[in-house]
Amino acid sequence: MSILIKNIKELLQVRENNVTLVKGADMKTLPTLKNAYVLIEHDTIVEYGSMADLGEIEAETIIDATGKIVLPTWCDSHTHLVYAGNREQEFVDRINGLSYEEIANRGGGILNSAAKLQNMDEDELYNISAERLINVMKQGTGAIEIKSGYGLTVEAELKMLRVIKRLKQEFPIKVRATFLGAHAFPKQYKEQPDSYIDLIVNEMIPLVSRERLADFIDVFCEKGYFSLEQTARILEAGKAHGLTPKIHVNQFNAFGGVALGVKHQALSVDHLEIMTDEDVEVLKNSNTMPVGLPACSYFISIPYTPARQIIDAGLPFALATDYNPGTSPTGNMNVVVSAGCIKMKMTPEEAINAATINGAYAMGISNMYGSICRGKKANLMITKPISSYNYLPYAFGDNLIDQVIINGSII
């Protein structure tokens, strides 16, 4: 299978060399090529360049992209896409004045989702999750991380991870799996939290590792959830079984979680709505990617991650959806890119870099995804005719994606 996309108005995120992340002032630069073409063979980008240099190239499929912009598909590095049911009543509760913590204390939140998932058949869970995955692919996402964490029992956590594995096998999109058994404490462990840590460390993690169900280990390190000490124990156990650390941190409080993530060589630290100068400093000279989740901030009316502070300090930054039923019920990365610009004061160039190459880095796949580079995977999206790439975040309510190519196939 070969595809030639020609007459491209502007080709974005063009990299002669295989850059794996961009940071600081470099995030303001988005390399582009006008009046361009891209040649795809099988699942790989094999050539691109100016239309003036196209010459005689044959391809089985030819796409005329006159007036259109082509860019890499979005790389969504933080989602909870596999879940049962929804939580629209909690949406109404928040409108009526209840906080996230108050809803959780009433049995809502994560525990609500866990109860629904525990009672759902695995095939049904797979089917509804597959529908969500198809939708986000159509919206331009070509690589995605999916977490467990709505099971909170050995059986239900493994059920979630097996569904994620099935999605990985059945769809062309690149899927990375994260074990998040430490998402909340089940009710029966509220008075004996260390017993739940024992269950995660001694039973869940070894089973996840044995079945090769996850790439990453994650913890919700937050007051009222998992402490620094509990988080450290879980991350250490995960690393001992070959799982790379990630961490939910600083969503509501800053109390040392970022430093803990860096200490354990976390690939990413995610949320970061509350940041201190010390948090920013500790990220310097680390290989950890800060990830912002603006759709969550929008939906539950909490502060936005201070992207300007992070980028202006010379750090890299990524954007992701946090797609989940309670605090960010959308997997639309186009909305997230717009929110990065509108609410986090990122330039369009910074937001696109954050949602492509840096998002891929936060999944450990930027060597093959996230930019237009010879030899990388052919994951591209073609916009409708638009005036410039600035129009993508500007027209935040419009569907501007015309075609999506994942793994060299038009979906």
**What domains, with CATH codes, occur in the chain?**
2-72+369-410 (2.30.40.10), 74-363 (3.20.20.140)
CA distance 341 to 204: 40
Which range is least confidently modeled, 74-83, 87-96, 140-149, 269-278?
87-96
- Position of tokens 């060399």? 17
What is the CA angle 351-353-359, rounded to 5? Answer: 100
Q: What percent of the chain has pLDDT over 90?
A: 88
251 is an annotated ligand-binding site residue: yes
**Mean pLDDT for all residues in the chain:** 95
271 labelled binding-site residue: no
Query: How many Å apart are CA 116 and CA 98, to the nearest integer?
Result: 22
Average pLDDT score over residue span 260-264: 98
Q: Where do the H-state alpha helices sit in 20-146?
A: 88-95, 100-105, 110-118, 122-138
Element (H, E) at 4: strand 2-12
Backbone phi and psi for residue 10, each to the nearest 5 degrees, phi listed first: -155, 130
pLDDT bin (cut points 50, 70, 90) of residue 111 is confident
Percent of the chain at pLDDT exceeding 70: 100
Instruction: Determine if residue 53 is labeled as part of a ligand binding site.
Output: no
Using an 8 Å Cβ cutoff, are 380 and 71 in contact? yes
Q: How many distinct helices (H) and strands (E) make up the chain?
A: 16, 16
pLDDT score of 93 more than 90: no
> What is the reported pTM?
0.95
Alpha-carbon distance of 149 to 181, in angstroms, equals: 5
Contacts within 8 Å (CB) and 24+ apart, 108-112: 108/326, 109/184, 109/326, 110/149, 110/150, 110/152, 110/183, 110/184, 110/326, 111/152, 111/184, 111/186, 111/187, 112/87, 112/326
Confirm or deny that 327 is annotated as ligand binding: yes
- The reply to whether 132 sits in an annotated binding site is no
pLDDT at 301: 93
- Find all residues with CB under 8 Å of 41, minimum gap 6, and list them: 1, 2, 408
Q: What's the rounded mean pLDDT across residues 389-409? A: 97
42 labelled binding-site residue: no
Q: Where residue 107 falls among pLDDT bands split at 50, 70, 90?
A: low
241 is known to lie in a ligand binding site: no
